[in-house]
Structure 1
Amino acid sequence: FVDTGMRPQNFIRELELTNVVEDYPKLRELIQKKDEIVEKSASTPMYYKCNLKEFELAPEFFGTKFDVILVDPPWEEYVHRAPGVAEHTECWTFEEIMNLKIEAIADTPSFIFLWVGDGVGLEQGRQCLKKWGFRRCEDICWVKTNKSTATPGLRHDSHTLFQHSKEHCLMGIKGTVRRSTDGHIIHANIDTDVIIAEEPPYDAISKYVEAAKQQNTYCRTNCVRFSYQTQRFPPNMEPLHSTKV
């Protein structure tokens, strides 16, 4: 056994979406045009710095409800993956996450993207979607590569034998959306549900959903994005300038 620090998925070839749709000219053209539209129409990211354990999500505060909601909670699983840094990392219990009033700010129809890790969060995430009024319609799997930053050594999750190298994002839908008549809301068959990449595939949301009002809950500094209204977490973060990240 040799620990090279390189993940096996680093060696999977032709991962770019353009390679996947090479034999489908209409789909390739749709992806190109959609990327251009997103680039031109994306608004400057806006954020509100708050403590989500004290702040109650409400449409009256935002002045609107949202078409797309991205939720990336600090699950306990994430702390277990980094032994020795737990005292510096705040995590939320399943009950605390489920008690968020996501249903209060979700429009009809609307979509939610909930990151759940790679363990018990899969089942707990489904329960959250049900409580918030969504039904699960897709499970997006992010298989992590580390081509640029190979792991220097083995760092095992304190609760498992093997190190996790994938994450799951549950996609939920509220209301009724039909592919044949609602192309102004959602684009079907435009991306894959297994994404092999080094960085989190946040851009996949823009490919799936054609929506104007987008909201990001539990945001860190590295994922404040164009077209999103964001609740910053933790609340003591320094202000972020309105630049593209």
Structure 2
Amino acid sequence: MSQSSVSSETQVSANDQGQNKNKTTISLSAKYAYHFFPSISVTDAGSPFTITATATTPAKRAAFGSNYNKITPLNSNQRHSSNGKAIVSYSNSNSNSNSKQNCYKNDYSNNYIHSGTLPFKYIRNSKQQVEGYPKLQKLYKLKEQQVEKYSTRPYGARVDTENLAKTLNSWVYDYDLQFDVIMIGALTENQLIYPLLTKLPIDKLCSKPGFLFIWASTKKISELSTLLNDSRTWAKRFRRSEELVFIPVDKNSVYYPKEWSIPEEQILEEVQWHCWMCITGTVRRSTDKDIIHCNVNTDLSLENSSTGNSAVPAQIYKVVENFSSSTRRLHIIPTSTGLKKHVKMRPGWVIVSPDIILDNFDPDRYKKDIELIGSKIPYNDEIEQLRPKTPV
């Protein structure tokens, strides 16, 4: 496909280039290329070119329109194999050589069309990301032990959605509570409620410097962007810094978007979840080693066999814990997450949700726990030496 060109139109065409009979151009729509034409064969035999391809579902055939009548169904025995390797052939009878050239490659898009297995499923180290890296393995182990040592007991506050703003305001004005890390939302579509979130006293709850992690599906990204750009709310105190992404690897996963959330006219399925990290105050990577530890985890997390069905996967909590050296962490889940995604308690966190099992949070008791362990995890020379550094 090195001679292919991409057009913005929904069409497929093949034509010789004037006097140069050995050169063939295939024009494909970028939007439909992987879905309608996972494997293509073009043959020039001195007559109009023949394109062999496959469309997948009735909906995609309908979206492709009248051009679908020009498509010959793909011969599965010749065009792809069971291990996900596709054969793409190109031949031209006018060329000097009559030999047929076969190109073998890993075509995971083609394999998905025929097997239903998502490409991310083939990533080998999704569970053990530091496998084969002894120093990083030691770093992860030391960080895990350190975070566990300086964590409060698991706290839960069962609060209905309609009482959420009232409860958080009480914590701010009656108990003078503040947190260094605040996470909002979970991996469900019903969490980003714009009117509700604007009423929460996030700017009063979050210390300075502090970190805000807020979840949204790909479908809700525009709403999240609107929320964080609204200068009339607490969002004016925060600036977006990083983005965490979580990707489910199976259509049977509880994190995979449901069919009702995908518009019928949409061809591509947007499966990833986004968590935007925002900062209030000034934090510098090079000097503020007592506040943040950069480069310990990656910003991309894949579902694996240990993920489970928590409202927020455990590996996401670990990313936050390894990044921030603060011990005061709050997770706000505004609405119910449903029966298939459980809200689980976690040491070092205060989790506010209508679905939390244990309702044991007491502000005065929590403040005493923080006094015992301190509001910051102590600096550790060995961890600092093992931690990958940002190039200067």
Q: Does TM, scored on the shorter chain, surpass 0.5?
A: yes
Q: 1:176 to 1:93 in 2, by over 3 A?
A: same
Tell whether the 8 Å contact from 1:5 to 1:150 is kept in structure 2 after alignment.
Answer: no
Tell whether the 8 Å contact from 2:211 to 2:278 is kept in structure 1 after alignment.
Answer: yes
Q: 1:155 to 1:74 in 2, by over 3 A?
A: closer
Tell whether the 8 Å contact from 1:73 to 1:97 is kept in structure 2 after alignment.
Answer: no
Aligned length: 220
In the alignment, which of 345, 364, 368 is matched to residue 224 of structure 1? 345
**Matched residues in 1 for 2:146 and 2:228: separation?**
30
Correspondence list, 1:16-31, <5 A? 16-19=128-131, 22=133, 25=135, 27-31=136-140
Structure-1 residue corresponding to 2:123: 12
**Matched residues in 1 for 2:203 and 2:195: separation?**
15
Q: 1:127 to 1:158 in 2, by over 3 A?
A: closer
SS class of match (2:343): helix
The answer on 1:125 being equivalent to 2:250 is no
Structure 2 letter corresponding to 1:232: S
Structure-2 residue corresponding to 1:209: 324
Question: What are structure 1's unaligned runs of at least 5 residues?
Answer: 80-90
Tell whether the 8 Å contact from 2:192 to 2:224 is kept in structure 1 after alignment.
Answer: no
Structure-1 residue corresponding to 2:151: 42
Higher RCO (Cα < 8 Å, 6 or more apart) = 1
Structure-2 residue corresponding to 1:70: 183
Structure-1 residue corresponding to 2:297: 191
- Please state how far the C-alpha of 1:195 moved relative to its aligned partner: 1.4
**Matched residues in 2 for 1:155 and 1:3: separation?**
20
Structure-1 residue corresponding to 2:285: 179
Structure 2 letter corresponding to 1:164: E
- Please state how far the C-alpha of 1:7 moved relative to its aligned partner: 2.5
**Matched residues in 2 for 1:6 and 1:50: separation?**
40
**Matched residues in 2 for 1:13 and 1:102: separation?**
39
1:195-236 per-residue CA deviation (whole Å, 9 max, x = no partner) reads 112433222111211111000101754333211112122xxx
SS class of match (2:333): strand
Give me the identity figure in percent. Answer: 23
Tell whether the 8 Å contact from 2:192 to 2:216 is kept in structure 1 after alignment.
Answer: no
Structure-1 residue corresponding to 2:109: none
Structure-1 residue corresponding to 2:206: 106
1:79-127 per-residue CA deviation (whole Å, 9 max, x = no partner) reads 6xxxxxxxxxxx66323223322112010010011001112x2233234
The answer on 1:141 being equivalent to 2:245 is yes
TM-score for the superposition, normalised by structure 2 = 0.49
- Which of the two has higher C-alpha Rg? 2
**Matched residues in 2 for 1:104 and 1:116: separation?**
23
Q: 1:53 to 1:156 in 2, by over 3 A?
A: closer
Structure 2 letter corresponding to 1:102: I
**Matched residues in 1 for 2:186 and 2:246: separation?**
16
Question: What are structure 2's unaligned runs of at least 5 residues?
Answer: 1-55, 57-112, 308-312, 361-392
Tell whether the 8 Å contact from 1:17 to 1:191 is kept in structure 2 after alignment.
Answer: no
**Matched residues in 2 for 1:232 and 1:150: separation?**
19
1:33-63 per-residue CA deviation (whole Å, 9 max, x = no partner) reads 1111112332211122112433332323554
**Matched residues in 1 for 2:138 and 2:353: separation?**
36
- Please state how far the C-alpha of 1:185 moved relative to its aligned partner: 1.3
In the alignment, which of 197, 217, 221 is matched to residue 97 of structure 1? 197
1:145-167 per-residue CA deviation (whole Å, 9 max, x = no partner) reads 2398599xx94534253443210
Tell whether the 8 Å contact from 2:209 to 2:281 is kept in structure 1 after alignment.
Answer: yes
C-alpha RMSD of the superposition? 3.1
Q: 1:17 to 1:240 in 2, by over 3 A?
A: same
Q: 1:166 to 1:190 in 2, by over 3 A?
A: same
Tell whether the 8 Å contact from 2:217 to 2:273 is kept in structure 1 after alignment.
Answer: yes
Structure-2 residue corresponding to 1:85: none
Deviates more, 1:204-213 or 1:45-54: 45-54
